[in-house]
Amino acid sequence: MVLKSTSASDNSVYQVSGTNFSRSLPDWVAKKRKRSLKHDLEFQNRVELIQDFEFSEASNKIKCTPDGQFAMATGTYKPQIHLYDFANLSLKFERHTDSENVDFLILSDDWTKSVHLQNDRSIQFQNKGGIHYTTRIPKFGRSLAYNKANCDLYVGSSGDELYRLNLEQGRFLNPLKLETEGVNHVSVNDTNGLIAVGMEENVVEFWDSRARSRVAKLTLENSFDSSPFQVTATSFRNDGLNFACGTSTGYSYLYDLRASQPTIVKDQGYGFEIKKIIWLDDTGAEGGNNNILTSDKRIAKIWDRTDGKAYASMEPSVDINDVEHVPGTGMFFTANEGIPMHTYYIPNLGPAPQWCSFLDSITEELEEKPSDSVYSNYRFITRDDVTKLSLTHLVGSKVLRAYMHGYFIDNELYDKVSLIANPNSYKDERDREIKRRIEKERESRIRTTGAVKKPKVKINKELVDKLSQKRGDKAADNVLTDDRFKEMFEDEDFQVDEHDYDYKQLNPVKSARETEEGAAKRIRALTAAEESDEERIAIKEGRGRFSDSEDDEASDSESESESQKNANEMSEKDKKLLAKKVASLQRRKQEREKAAQFMNHMSVGAEDKFAQETQETGFDKKVAEMRQQEKHRQDNSAVVRRNHQGEAEFSYMPSKRFSAPKNKKKSVAFENDGDDDEHESESSNKKDSGRSRARAQGRRASKNVFRGM
């Protein structure tokens, strides 16, 4: 979290709330993008002093209550009034009005009584419950002023009259007739009851509220600017002797009422009309009694009223409509054209308000401290460069700023020093630039295929082919021409042996493209003729000679003898290669012989077993066994199913052969029968497979129908 601050004349000004830019998106769009605020760095670093200290579109006026516990502000859109409670640091309520507010006054010590001048020529009196009374004036109003001595409310309008509304009597009084038309601003001196009326012309009229007559007329003159101007702001100091007014051309005049000439004329600097003048008498700071604030729509300046020396300034990025000072503190509120209202705090001008006393402790901690050295226009040079440029005598000064193993030097100074150290540097740089441009033009020319010379590859050609397939020919050429990898394709010490054990461990599986050719060979085993051909070709490659008339069915012994005869004619490298191939061929031959012996043994054993079985059992017996098995399978039609709990379900289809014969009767034996009868019943049960006793015998009598089923 960082507080933006500006410094002028060793007086820091902290922007506590508000943004330093005008929101370009409408508010309803911004609300839909609240999730993106977590990525907004400015939103994360904000200090929300008062909750909802903003309006939907813009704010017009803002004022603090005399007791210093509340702040009332008006804004748009829609036209509304906000009241902020400093004790809770939040919005107390908001009210909507029919028309936009032009000016308002707080009549009580708290917020309960206020009067509002609307742009539809109406004047609204509001209390706790809302609108208390509404009246209208003949012409559009511009400014309000209240005299506590006689309860008169003065309303300045676009006409040549200053309207008077007595709040004690509740009726309009005779207006004050002015010499010129158009009242821009009205102010009342609480000490002596003098009324100052700023006109559309360069005139200020002073009226006595007790005699209701004009006492003086002040005509402003500007020797710096001869163009016509208006008086847009007026203000009395609490001592009753000093008066200040501002013009539409950006000049502020300070007067002593006992003299006709201004004590000082201050130019705001931007040429915009002065909107607000505040005498900073009750700040409690050293020398604060001599400060005054003047504001236009661009900037609010605080300066010394005796000599005009600047003290501090507040410059938001949006137009200022009104400025309010919290009495006895160094805090200021601004109503502006942006959505949030701004809050500024100047610790040297006064302490923080009691309701936000924590500002005094966090301002220095959260202050945005700019670095003393800005390196955007500096160049870094090493110690050797310092020696070459003969700048060793500047080491330790502010010209060379030490950093790590070198120094930072200003770019302009470096250019001058390097030109002195090497007078031909400009010429050399020019030649290099010419060569660079020529090479660039050459690269853009269309070249034939033959003109492009590809680098030669002596070894690791397969690696180059893989690289060109994956990355392209251009990438492969870049690797070949690179000095770091150049020897890898020229020196034989860097030959990649794919049969090496370490290589196979690092590359256990080859891609489908690499094994595409070998896959077809590994689908089936080689025949004897193919194996003999492979051996013969390998032996011929080893001794470096091929014979077209050589017989394809030559034996392995003859080829080995021929290889031994020509061994003396070959080099040592060829001998080693030939010996390696011969050994591999012999090993493969032995493996084939072992496999053939094993297969012969297995086939012989199986034939003997089959012959023994056929001798023991005849064909008719085998057929009888098969028929008996099929019959048993048909008879056993029961199905057993088991579920996950271990329970079994047995289902079967009854057949006729299990039922009793129709021509035979079942004999049932009872317990009181004799032995003979029992013997006969047992024999009959064995034959007929009937029951030995009745179904319901031994059961309890019941009315349940299902028990008898």
| pLDDT tens, residue by residue, 426-481 | 787 788 888 888 888 876 666 555 445 556 677 888 888 888 887 777 788 888 88
Pick from 321-335, 347-361, 372-386 the range whose average pLDDT is largest: 321-335
Strands 114-118 and 300-304: unpaired
Q: Where does residue 463 rank: exposed (0-12), middle (13-18), buried (19+ CB within 10 A)?
A: middle
pLDDT score of 683 more than 70: no
Q: Of 399, 418, 445, which one is at a domain's C-terminal end?
A: 445
Q: What angle do CA 75, 78, 81 make, to 5 degrees?
A: 45
Do 98 and 221 lie in one domain? The reply is yes
Do 227 and 110 lie in one domain? The reply is yes
Sheet of 291-295: strands edge to edge? 276-280, 291-295, 300-304, 310-314
Do 226 and 133 lie in one domain? The reply is yes
Give the dihedral of Cα atoms 516, 518, 519, 521; nearest 10 deg: 140
C-beta of residue 86 within 8 angstroms of C-beta of residue 71: yes
Q: Of 348, 368, 388, which one is at a domain's C-terminal end?
A: 368
440 compared with 294, residue with greater pLDDT: 294
229 compared with 43, residue with greater pLDDT: 229
380 within a domain of the structure (yes/no): yes
pLDDT score of 264 more than 90: yes
Residue 130, beta-bridge partner list = 127
Place of tokens 């009750």: 282
pLDDT score of 214 more than 70: yes
Side-chain half-sphere of 508: how many Cα atoms within 13 Å?
1
Of 290, 339, 349, nearest to 318 (Cα)? 339
User: Which range, of 30-34, 356-360, 516-520, averages the lowest pLDDT?
Assistant: 516-520
For residue 473, give its domain range. Answer: 455-499
Do 433 and 348 lie in one domain? The reply is no
31 within a domain of the structure (yes/no): yes
CATH number of the domain within which 328 lies: 2.130.10.10
467 compared with 323, residue with greater pLDDT: 323
Do 95 and 234 lie in one domain? The reply is yes
Residues 6+ apart with CB under 8 A from 317: 19, 20, 21, 22, 338
C-beta of residue 237 within 8 angstroms of C-beta of residue 230: no
Place of tokens 């370490």: 502
Strands 114-118 and 101-106: antiparallel
Quote the pLDDT of residue 497. 82
Mean pLDDT over 387-402 rounds to 82
Do 388 and 332 lie in one domain? The reply is no
553 within a domain of the structure (yes/no): no
Of 145, 171, 143, 173, nearest to 157 (Cα)? 143
**Six-digit token pair at 305?**
């009223």
Chain length of the chain: 709
Place of tokens 């915009």: 272
299 falls in which pLDDT band (50, 70, 90)?
Answer: very high
485 within a domain of the structure (yes/no): yes
Do 216 and 148 lie in one domain? The reply is yes
Q: Which one-letter DSSP state was computed for residue 443?
A: H
Residues 6+ apart with CB under 8 A from 640: 648, 649, 650
Do 311 and 404 lie in one domain? The reply is no
344 falls in which pLDDT band (50, 70, 90)?
Answer: very high
Own/partner long-range contacts of 287-290 (Cβ < 8 Å, ≥24 apart)? 288/349, 288/350
Q: What angle do CA 653, 654, 660 make, to 5 degrees?
A: 175
Report the run of H or E that residue 360 belongs to, with start and end.
helix 359-362
Sheet of 80-85: strands edge to edge? 58-64, 70-76, 80-85, 90-96
User: Which range, of 2-11, 80-89, 190-199, 446-455, averages the lowest pLDDT?
Assistant: 446-455
Place of tokens 């059961």: 699
Of 244, 223, 224, nearest to 235 (Cα)? 244
Residue type, 667: S
Quote the pLDDT of residue 372. 43
Mean pLDDT over 358-369 rounds to 69
285 falls in which pLDDT band (50, 70, 90)?
Answer: low
604 falls in which pLDDT band (50, 70, 90)?
Answer: low
Give the dihedral of Cα atoms 52, 54, 60, 65; nearest 10 deg: 30
635 within a domain of the structure (yes/no): no
d(C-alpha 642, C-alpha 176), whole Å: 111
- pTM beyond 0.85: no
pLDDT score of 295 more than 60: yes
Distances from the Cα of 208 to the Cα of 142, 156, 172, 213, 239, angstroms:
21, 16, 18, 6, 17
Do 154 and 272 lie in one domain? The reply is yes
460 within a domain of the structure (yes/no): yes
C-beta of residue 266 within 8 angstroms of C-beta of residue 292: no
Do 390 and 435 lie in one domain? The reply is yes
Do 322 and 465 lie in one domain? The reply is no
706 within a domain of the structure (yes/no): no
Quote the pLDDT of residue 494. 81
- Number of domains present in the structure of the chain: 3
Listed in order, strand segments (DSSP E) in 358-414 are 378-382, 401-403, 406-410
Distances from the Cα of 135 to the Cα of 118, 132, 301, angstroms:
10, 11, 37
Quote the pLDDT of residue 574. 78
Neighbours of 492 (CB within 10 A): 8
Q: What angle do CA 491, 493, 498 make, to 5 degrees?
A: 110
Neighbours of 321 (CB within 10 A): 21
d(C-alpha 73, C-alpha 335), whole Å: 8
pLDDT score of 106 more than 90: yes
Report pLDDT digits (tens) over 561-598. 554 555 455 567 778 888 888 888 888 888 888 888 77
431 within a domain of the structure (yes/no): yes
**Six-digit token pair at 304?**
């010394």
pLDDT score of 666 more than 50: no
**Six-digit token pair at 5?**
């601050």
Neighbours of 5 (CB within 10 A): 18
546 compared with 150, residue with greater pLDDT: 150
d(C-alpha 200, C-alpha 182), whole Å: 5
Q: Of 368, 393, 417, which one is at a domain's C-terminal end?
A: 368
Do 308 and 437 lie in one domain? The reply is no
